[in-house]
Every structure is written in C-alpha cells, then in structure tokens.
Chains A and B, each alone.
With several copies, the nearest count.
Chain A
Amino acid sequence: MSEGASRVLTYREAVREALSLELENDPDVFVMGEDIGQYGGVFKVTDGLLARFGPLRILDTPISEAAFVGAAVGAAMTGKRPVVELMFMDFALVAADQLLNQAAKMQFLSGDQFRVPLTIRTQQGVGSGTAAQHSQSLEALFMHLPGFAVALPSSPADAKGLLASAIRADHPTIVIEHKALYGTKGEVPEGIYRTPFGQAALRRPGSDVTIASYSRTVHVALAAAETLAAEGIEAEVIDLRTLVPLDYDTVLDSVGRTGRLVVAHEGHRNAGAGAEIAARVSELAWHALRAPVRRVCGLDIPVPYAAPLEAAWLPSSEAIARGVRESLGSATSPQAA
C-alpha cells in the first residue's frame, strides 16, 4: 500500500494531503462545499487549498446542498471528478434525492451510457455534544441503496489512501470521516497511494473472538481488546475500512479461526451495517460460528446532548467487552446439535 517515506500526520492533514495530491495529479478534480475555500472548512480540512489551487478548483458554495451535490453529479457525468464536502453527514438528508435517486442510479438507468465519478467527503458521528441533528451515522443508507461505494477510514493513513481511491473511482463514492478523529495522529506515507476498497485491515490478531468494526469504533474496539486481554481473552480486531464493497473474506477467515463475531459501530443497530454483517456471516460461516453474532452499536434512539446520556448512547469499550464476554459465555452450539 505505501511507498517510500512516511511521517506522522493528523487525520485532518492526511485528508488534505490526498486532496492536494489528486488536485495536482488531475485537472478534472475539483472540490466544492460550504466554507471550504477562504475559511478552509469548518473542520479546517481544506485549509490552504484555495490559495494553492485557486477558485476554479476550490469552490465555495451557497447553503444549497441539493444544488451543489446535483451540480457535482452533472459535472461528473460529463467528465469531471468532483469532490464534494458535505459539512455534516446529517445534511445528506437535504440532498438525498441527488445522492440516492440521481448519482446512485444514473449509470444504471442510462444503460451504462453515463458514469458518475463523484466523491462525497463528509464527517459524521458523535463528537462532543453535537446532539440529534449533527451526530448521526448514516452509512447504512448508502449501504442499502446500491450506487455508492462507502469508506469509513479509522486512521490518517486510510483517510488519505481511501479518499485517493475514491477520487479515482469511476463510480460514486462516499468517504465518511469521523469528527472525533480529525485530531488523531498516525504514520502516513508520502506521495500518492490508493488504499483499495474492499480490503479490510487486521488491526490486532487474536484467537478467541473476532471484533469487526470501522471508523472511530475501531479504536474503541482496540481498547476493549486490551481490557479483555487482561482477562485472558484474545480478541482479533478487524477494521473493515469499506462497507461497500465489504471484505467478507477477511471476516470469514477470522471467524473460521475464532468461531465468534462481535460487530461494533456507532450507527443505530436496527437495520444497520451490523445487521447485514451478522446476517451474511451467519449464513456464510454457519458451521464455524460457535455463538450468535453480537452487535454493539449506537442506541436506537436519537443522540442526546447531555454528556452522560451521550456516553451511554455510544458503544463504549466496556459495552464491546461485555458483548465479547457474552459471546464467549453463550452456548457454543445450537440445540439441534
């Protein structure tokens, strides 16, 4: 995946670097969004890009998500590679038609005449107190309706590499960053590299149970694994990195060894990404599973503001550890056995 030297960057800087490199690399790439130019984005991800690439590559938009997402769809259909920043994932719901009825379907309904090499970059999740309309995790919507490839990087290196891949893809992609990760740091290779979609990363080897996760929850899962290790339980932690396509091979391989799977993510549980993973793995690894797949997710209510409620709403490392313990404690085989 990486080539040459690397250095420590923040997740934010890594995203910016991917944008810069792709902007340099391909004149058809341009970036659009609210307050991304002069101000450099409310999360400061695009800071400096306007000065460097000018107003024909870095476009500040009005507060008109449907229009600028739609404009990106049109531009993509005629040869450009727009990268749109949706300031908060929650705002996807004011542009949902352009995203899910238009971008997602144009290639198919045109009988393969038009492709839509559009990248949506956004951030989601619980930060600290952003409450019900600014904290949602909406990846499951993009997973359910076919059309977008969906990436949720957990590390600076992936934030760069997955975005670079997304921009080069000939299809709609959505790269969902996490607001609580922007300041986190990690080694990031220099230069252009593209982390392939559909390849999960093993973040921690372990033999007793598999934890599949993505985005910020990977770090929570790793913390849970530490707690569990102290109890003598070795959890394998898989970072799925992309949900569409989803690397079932890696998950199944791990479950083949551990016999147990816990899926952890911040999105709601009901009909969320974890439901699909649980359903699919139960089907494909039926013989290997020694306990039902457990899910540890955001609660199935809106995100509350007050700190203790928000904390209780989130899948904590304690909740994930509990899920693992339950998985290990529960009956190891069906009644029928």
Chain B
Amino acid sequence: METHVADLGAVELATYTSLLGIRGFEEHAQDLFSRSLIRGSTHLGIGQEAVAVGARLASRPGDLVVPTYRGHAYALAWGMTFDAAFGELLGRVTGCNSGRGGSKHFADREKGVLPGNAIVAAGLPIGCGTALADRLVGRDRVTIVPFGDGATNQAAFHEALNLAAIWSLPVVFLCENNLYGEMTPLHRTVRIERLADRGAAYGMPGVQADGMDVNAVASVLSEAVERARPGGGPTLVEALTYRFCGHMPGDTEPYRTREEVDEWRARDPITSQRKAARRAGVGESEIRDLETAVAAALDAAEAAAIAAPPPEIADIGLGATEWMEWER
C-alpha cells in the first residue's frame, strides 16, 4: 500500500476524526446517563476506540460487523450517523433501531452493522452465519466479530471458532482483551497467558495486536481479513486494550488500581493519533478546526435526539412478526 505524503495526512486525519467522534459520543453518553436520560445501563468503550477504528480501516466497504453490548464504537466506525446513535441511546423514534433496542443493540442494516448483542459471545455464531451466507453465495465479503476477553470462556465462543475453522468461513474473531470481564480480572478466569493461543485448539491462527494503536490493529487485522476473504479461513485476533471507564455506570472499580488506569491512559489512542496526524503534516489549526467541528456535530446530534419524539405507543408492534399479537 503506497501512500503519498499529502494523502498520508488526510488518512491520519480521517482516522483521528473517527476516533474523536467515537470518544466524544461515549463521553456524551456518560453525561446523558448521569442526567438520567439513558435508561437501563450503557457499556462504553472509552480507551478501546482504536480497536473498532482499526477494524474499520482493515475492512472494505460492505464488510459486516457483529458487535456486542459494548458496540457504539463499531456502529459509528461503520458509518452510523450521530443522529441515529443518539436517537437510539435516548429511545427516540429517530434511533437506529427506532428506539426499540437502546444502547446495547445498535444496528444499521445499510451500513453492515448487525444488532449489538447483549448475551456474551452470542454474536460469534451469528457472525459465522453471515460469513457462511457469503461463502455459499460466493460473495466477496468478510464479517468481523468483536467480543471481550471474558467471552472466550463462554460456550458459544468454542463452537463458533470450531465451525468457522472447519468451514474456512470468511470471518475474523476480534477479541478486545481489556483485562476484565465485568469486574473479574482475566487471570482469575483463564489459566493461559495469551488468549490468542486459543485459536490453536481449532487449527486457527491466533495473533495479538496492540489495541491502543489504531495502525497496529489495522495492520494485524488486514492480514486476517484478507486471508479470510478469498477463503483462507478465520483468524483469532487478540487486541490488547483497556477501558478507561467502568464496566457500566455505577461500577466502583474495586478490582483495579488508579495506577493501572493511569498507565493505560498514558497510551490513550486519541492522543497518539492526534500526534500521528501532526507528524503526517496536518497543521495544528486544521486539527483544532476539526475538533471543533466534531464537538459541534455531537452537540447538535445530541440536541436533536433530545428534542426528537419517542416512538408512538400505537407503533409498539414495529418489528413484531406477522403472527405475534400484542393487544392486552
């Protein structure tokens, strides 16, 4: 892949924009939750943005993603609009799922985003299925399935990796190892050092990537994606990352130290990417303008969502199948 110097600046800036938009969205979500505007819970990926953005960089337009409940970053990286995302967070009719799913279930059919899944590891078999469909049809598409470190102990992980391996499905399993499954440290729930090594049980390559570095993620994933695409089979990619925020609002974080968090914060992918853009020749003022524009776009989308109406009760049957009945 050759890139001219001028292009490089644009590329790095685009990546920065994407990261910045996601981070900003998550911070808005934090704030909206604290203002009781988000119902239930919300699982943010602050600190982990480089993995989703790297995944997008490594994939082609049209490639699919099957996110989890911690899935805002993927939806946005795949092109979901802020309007659709804020609308869903707030349960508005303008939301990507018309307010039916909320934070955990962001979906965007047109952009290739399957519904975020709130059952740990349930997206892995589903991702095998989208890949299987593509293989059967002979379609040139890859599915990326992100999930957490804790998910590698869930039943569906095992069956899905094996199925994908034996059928050489065009899917990439992307483990976001943020060291904790909810509040439980990974070392208490597995006895191995590298989760990537679990690929070997299926005859599948397992590789690690620095999940705090968007380009590192993109390059490791590119290889996996481009192996998968022509039928070379799936890969287990373990991105080493960290969430700066709690697992969910209210998480008191007794399971980790301030120092640990600070160490990881020092590797904030947003900060690094800003530097990368500058190194690639983008001027400080151009970056500032961009930052202002992103912040404004977020504010505007949030305001629009707050002002948008909730779904009509009369439409409660949207998405019901033809044989469901919902009169009382």
A/B contact in complex, CB under 8 angstroms: yes
Interface hits, B21-61 → A, CB 8 Å: 38-41
Interface hits, B93-113 → A, CB 8 Å: 95-102, 104-105, 107-109
Known contacts: A62-B190, A63-B151, A67-B156. The answer to whether A109 contacts B97 by CB under 8 A is yes
Asked if A111 and B255 sit within 8 Å, CB to CB, the answer is no
CB distance from B127 to the nearest CB of A (A): 6
A182: CB under 8 A from chain B? Answer: no
**Cα distance, A147 to B324, chains bound together (Å):** 7
Encoded as 1 (CB less than 8 Å from any B CB) or 0, chain A from 61 to 98 comes to 11111111111111111111010000000110110011
A30: CB under 8 A from chain B? Answer: yes
* Tally of chain A residues near chain B (CB < 8 A): 82
A252: CB under 8 A from chain B? Answer: no
Interface hits, B189-244 → A, CB 8 Å: 189-190
Asked if B126 and A129 sit within 8 Å, CB to CB, the answer is no
Stretch at the interface among B273-281, B295-303, B312-320: B312-320
A17: CB under 8 A from chain B? Answer: no
Asked if A34 and B313 sit within 8 Å, CB to CB, the answer is no
Asked if B120 and A111 sit within 8 Å, CB to CB, the answer is no
Partner of A39, one of B66, B101, B129, B255: B255
**Cα distance, A149 to B254, chains bound together (Å):** 36
Asked if B316 and A66 sit within 8 Å, CB to CB, the answer is no
* Tally of chain B residues near chain A (CB < 8 A): 79
Asked if B122 and A70 sit within 8 Å, CB to CB, the answer is yes
Encoded as 1 (CB less than 8 Å from any B CB) or 0, chain A from 108 to 135 comes to 1111111000000000000111111110
Stretch at the interface among B2-10, B130-138, B286-294: B130-138
Asked if B153 and A63 sit within 8 Å, CB to CB, the answer is yes
**Cα distance, A98 to B188, chains bound together (Å):** 24
Partner of A245, one of B98, B133, B156, B323: B323
Partner of B133, one of A42, A80, A101, A128: A80
A146: CB under 8 A from chain B? Answer: yes
B124: CB under 8 A from chain A? Answer: yes
CB distance from B67 to the nearest CB of A (A): 12
Partner of A67, one of B118, B159, B184: B159
Asked if B119 and A133 sit within 8 Å, CB to CB, the answer is yes
Asked if A70 and B129 sit within 8 Å, CB to CB, the answer is yes
B contact residues around A301 at 8 Å (CB): 316-317, 320, 324, 326
B65: CB under 8 A from chain A? Answer: no
Encoded as 1 (CB less than 8 Å from any A CB) or 0, chain B from 248 to 292 comes to 100000110000000000000000000000000000000000000
Partner of B255, one of A38, A66, A305, A309: A38
Partner of A299, one of B40, B107, B248, B328: B328
**Cα distance, A312 to B311, chains bound together (Å):** 11
Asked if B316 and A75 sit within 8 Å, CB to CB, the answer is no
**Cα distance, A149 to B134, chains bound together (Å):** 27
Asked if B320 and A305 sit within 8 Å, CB to CB, the answer is no
Asked if A70 and B322 sit within 8 Å, CB to CB, the answer is no
Known contacts: A109-B319, A309-B316. The answer to whether A64 contacts B184 by CB under 8 A is no
Interface hits, B69-110 → A, CB 8 Å: 91-92, 95-102, 104-105, 107-109
Encoded as 1 (CB less than 8 Å from any B CB) or 0, chain A from 7 to 46 comes to 0000000000000000000000010001100110010000
Known contacts: A67-B128, A70-B124. The answer to whether A60 contacts B97 by CB under 8 A is no
Asked if A64 and B162 sit within 8 Å, CB to CB, the answer is yes
Known contacts: A63-B154, A147-B321, A304-B99. The answer to whether A102 contacts B328 by CB under 8 A is no
Interface centre among A113, A147, A171, A299 (most CB of B within 10 A): A113
Asked if B126 and A77 sit within 8 Å, CB to CB, the answer is yes
B contact residues around A61 at 8 Å (CB): 163, 189
Asked if B126 and A73 sit within 8 Å, CB to CB, the answer is yes
**Cα distance, A56 to B135, chains bound together (Å):** 9
CB distance from A29 to the nearest CB of B (A): 11
B contact residues around A334 at 8 Å (CB): none
B contact residues around A131 at 8 Å (CB): 40, 100-102, 104-105, 118
A197: CB under 8 A from chain B? Answer: yes
B146: CB under 8 A from chain A? Answer: no
A306: CB under 8 A from chain B? Answer: yes
**Cα distance, A208 to B85, chains bound together (Å):** 50
Closest to B90 in A: A306
Closest to A270 in B: B325
A328: CB under 8 A from chain B? Answer: no
Asked if B115 and A128 sit within 8 Å, CB to CB, the answer is no
Asked if A110 and B151 sit within 8 Å, CB to CB, the answer is no
A contact residues around B122 at 8 Å (CB): 70, 97-98, 101-102
Asked if B126 and A102 sit within 8 Å, CB to CB, the answer is yes
CB distance from B274 to the nearest CB of A (A): 35
Interface hits, B174-190 → A, CB 8 Å: 181-184, 188-190
Encoded as 1 (CB less than 8 Å from any B CB) or 0, chain A from 195 to 236 comes to 001100000000000000000000000000000000000000
B172: CB under 8 A from chain A? Answer: no
Asked if A306 and B118 sit within 8 Å, CB to CB, the answer is no
A contact residues around B105 at 8 Å (CB): 109-110, 131-133, 305
Which residues of B are at the interface with A, using a C-beta cutoff of 8 A? 38-41, 64, 66, 91-92, 95-102, 104-105, 107-109, 114-115, 117-122, 124-134, 136-137, 143, 150-151, 153-156, 159-160, 162-163, 166, 181-184, 188-190, 248, 254-255, 310-311, 313, 316-326, 328
A-B contact pairs, 11 of them (CB 8 A): A38-B184, A64-B155, A70-B124, A101-B119, A102-B117, A111-B319, A113-B96, A169-B322, A197-B323, A305-B101, A312-B313
Interface contacts beyond A34-B184, A110-B319, A111-B318: sample of 8 additional A-B pairs, CB < 8 Å, sorted by A: A60-B188, A62-B166, A66-B155, A68-B125, A110-B97, A129-B39, A169-B322, A306-B91
Which residues of A are at the interface with B, using a C-beta cutoff of 8 A? 30, 34-35, 38-39, 42, 56, 60-80, 82, 90-91, 93-94, 97-98, 101-102, 106-114, 127-134, 146-147, 149, 169-172, 197-198, 244-245, 270, 296-297, 299-301, 304-310, 312-313, 315, 319
